[in-house]
Amino acid sequence: MAIPIVLDHNSPQSLQGQIFEQLRHLILGGKLKPGTPIPASRVLAEQLGISRNTVLLVYDRLMAEGYLQARKAIGTYVNLELPETSLAATRRIATAVPAQGEAIRQPDIPFIGQKQTRGNTRHLDFDFFPDRTDLDLFPQKIWRRFINRTFASSSTHFTECGDPGGLLQLREVVADHLGVARGISVTPDQVIITAGSQEGLNLASRLLIKDGTLVATENPCYEGAALLFQSYYAKLAPVPVDESGLDVEQLPKEGVTLLYLTPSHQYPLGFTLPIERRLKLLDWAQRCGAYIIEDDYDSDFRYRGSPLTALMGLDDYGCVMYLGTFSKSMGAGLRLGYLVVPKTLIHATRSAKALLNNGHSWLDQITMAEFIRSGAYGNHLRRMRHVYCKRRDALIEALRQHFGAVELSGVESGLHLAWHLPEGYPSAPELQELALQHGVGVYAIGAGTAYDYGQSRYSARTLILGFASLNEYQIRAGIRRIADVFASIPST
């Protein structure tokens, strides 16, 4: 490595002094950082055309003053702790202080928002958190086999950006899967691959929301959606939910730009929107000129009856955006989901996606595409449904065993259910806190990943219990402990 040193043989300063000052300046200026190797004395002498002894004397002086350090049999390096580091820091801080009476005002940050709830930080023996799946069910051997196979055809995929909208092979199999599983007929161009459903929500929000935009949501609803819309300065309009899902009759009559809902398994209460309400909802959107985000977060897991056609599959107006994710079926850490948009929004959505992150990992996308295309994904889903159905049944059985004729919702599908507490029981927040004190996690609305506007009739009397991440023994033991806690409460 050549060091930029220039010697002036006509200068009154000695060559040794010139080299010393220039090396010291390079070190203190950060051009030669701590730990950087310095050329051997012979090499630097040859570069400068001077005697090696002159360079040796300079190096000795720099080492004596703490700028260089010699490492035996390795070489000479810039010292990790420089003698003037603290003085330089003091000078930098001092220059940042404004003059007397002068005020430095930084611009306001326009972003508003808060992080989503991610569960308890304390250790729990049995945690019924609703947003977790079982890591042990991930098909590691098959997935590894597909990854190894894709390396053989990697070509230039690791050195070039792919399509911001997602790998074509993955978009094709997603479109085919939705046609069979959800009754949605779309082209691959309408499918945008995202980093999970949250990025899909961000894309839709960027397209449609500005300061003051009226956005309607279910009440209660998914926390990640409500907080996101708030961060875009949307005006939120909560719409009540009953035993048939969103109450379409209570939607605002006009002014709504966007409606977000979970019609197949209402989050968090689990109700299913019937076909009559779906059709009324589409008519409402057409009259209002509103777009709908249909979040189908766990539609792959249905244990009773056939699923209803997705809202987008019924849409003749081009107003529904469909949000899907592989987080529940494969794992949240994979960060793969998709947003399906009407044809009129393809160009705008793909442009927004390119500006956001210009696409995702080629390896994850091609592996997922081949996993689906091979039929392994279908086999994996069937296995997971079987396991999760048994866990759901164990939870229902345990609740009935210890608490009698419990009122439950959301049992037909999904990875969690809602337990509606009868009169005479503590409130949901009180029971949640009692359970936490005894090492069990159950969640009132607003304490898990659900957002409660405070006006819902379910707010105080409903607990949310996820069952996917616990085995059947843990589920039964956890409910038994809750029953013991409840039995210890003095009667009033």
Half-sphere exposure of 114 (CA within 13 A, CB side): 7
The pLDDT, as a whole number, for residue 491 is 61
| CATH class of segment(s) 139-376 | alpha beta
Tokens 């950082």 sit on residue = 33
- Residue 159, both tokens: 């050195």
CATH code: domain 15-87 is 1.10.10.10
- Tokens at residue 165, please? 């909208």
Residue 466 has pLDDT above 80, yes or no: yes
Domain ranges of the chain: 15-87, 126-131+379-487, 139-376
3-class secondary structure, 320: strand
Q: Can the peptide bond before residue 268 be classed as cis, meaning omega within 30 degrees of 0?
A: yes
Supply φ then ψ for residue 21, to 5 degrees.
-65, -40
Structure-block tokens of residue 140 = 């590691």
pLDDT digits (tens, 9 = 90+) for 65-121: 888 988 877 788 888 877 765 444 444 444 555 556 566 777 878 888 877 776 666
CA distance 482 to 488: 10
For residue 429, cis peptide bond before it (omega within 30 degrees of 0)? no
Order of all β-strands in the sheet with 337-340: 191-194, 337-340, 320-325, 291-295, 256-261, 214-219, 235-242, 245-246
The better pLDDT of the pair 465, 13 is held by 465
H/E run at residue 339? strand 337-340
Measured CA to CA, the distance from residue 286 to residue 248 in angstroms comes to 13
Instruction: Give the list of residues 6+ apart from residue 336 with CB closer than 8 angstroms, or none.
Output: 193, 194, 195, 196, 325, 326, 327, 330, 360, 364, 365, 368
Token pair of 163 as six digits: 């399509």
CATH superfamily, domain 126-131+379-487, is Aspartate Aminotransferase, domain 1 (3.90.1150.10)
Q: What is the CA radius of gyration of the chain?
A: 31
Mean pLDDT over 314-332 rounds to 95
pLDDT mean across residues, the chain: 89
In this model, does residue 253 exceed pLDDT 80?
yes
Collapsing DSSP states into helix, strand and coil, what is residue 443?
strand
Within a 10 A sphere around the Cβ of 219, how many other Cβ atoms? 25
Above 90 in pLDDT, residue 230? yes
Mean pLDDT along residues 234-254:
96
What does the DSSP assignment read for 75-136? EEEE-SS-TTHHHHHHHHHHHTSPPTT----PPPP-----PPP---SS--SEE--TT---GG
Percentage of residues in the chain having pLDDT higher than 70: 92
Rounded to the nearest angstrom, the gap between the alpha carbon of residue 363 and the centroid of all alpha carbons in its chain is 19
Give the residue-averaged pLDDT of 132-159: 82
Instruction: Give the CA count within 13 Å in the CB-facing half-sphere of 156.
Output: 3
Q: What is the pLDDT of residue 83?
A: 74
Do 366 and 149 meet the contact criterion of CB atoms below 8 Å apart? no
The mean-pLDDT minimum among 148-162, 172-186, 213-227, 340-354 falls in: 148-162
Please state the rounded mean pLDDT for residues 43-70. Answer: 89
State residue 71's pLDDT score: 80
Strand partners, 440: 126
Name the least confident of 80-89, 398-407, 418-427, 444-453: 80-89
With H, G, I as helix, E, B as strand and everything else as coil, classify residue 338.
strand
As a residue count, the chain comes to 492
Percent of residues, the chain, with pLDDT higher than 90? 63
Residue 304's pLDDT is what?
84
Between the CA atoms of 155, 158, 162 and 165, what dihedral angle is there, to the nearest 10 degrees? 120
DSSP string, 219-236: ESEEHHHHHHHHHTTPEE
- Mean pLDDT for the stretch of residues 379-402: 96
Report the sign of the C-alpha dihedral through residues 185, 186, 188, 194, in that order. negative
Per the model's pLDDT, the better-predicted residue between 491 and 180 turns out to be 180
pLDDT band at 487 (very low <50, low <70, confident <90, very high): confident
Cα separation of the two ends of the chain: 83
- Extract long-range pairs of 68-77: CB within 8 Å, 24+ residues apart: 68/38, 75/37, 75/38, 75/40, 76/37, 76/38, 76/40, 77/35, 77/36, 77/37, 77/38
* pLDDT at residue 318 is higher than 50: yes
Token pair, residue 307, equals 């699923």
E strand map for 126-267? 126-127, 191-194, 214-219, 221-222, 235-242, 245-246, 256-261
Q: How much is the pLDDT for 90?
A: 43
Q: Which two tokens stand for residue 73?
A: 């049999």
Residue type, position 170, single letter: L
Q: Is 323 helix (H, G, I), strand (E, B) or coil?
A: strand
What is the structure's pLDDT at 203? 96
- pTM equals 0.79
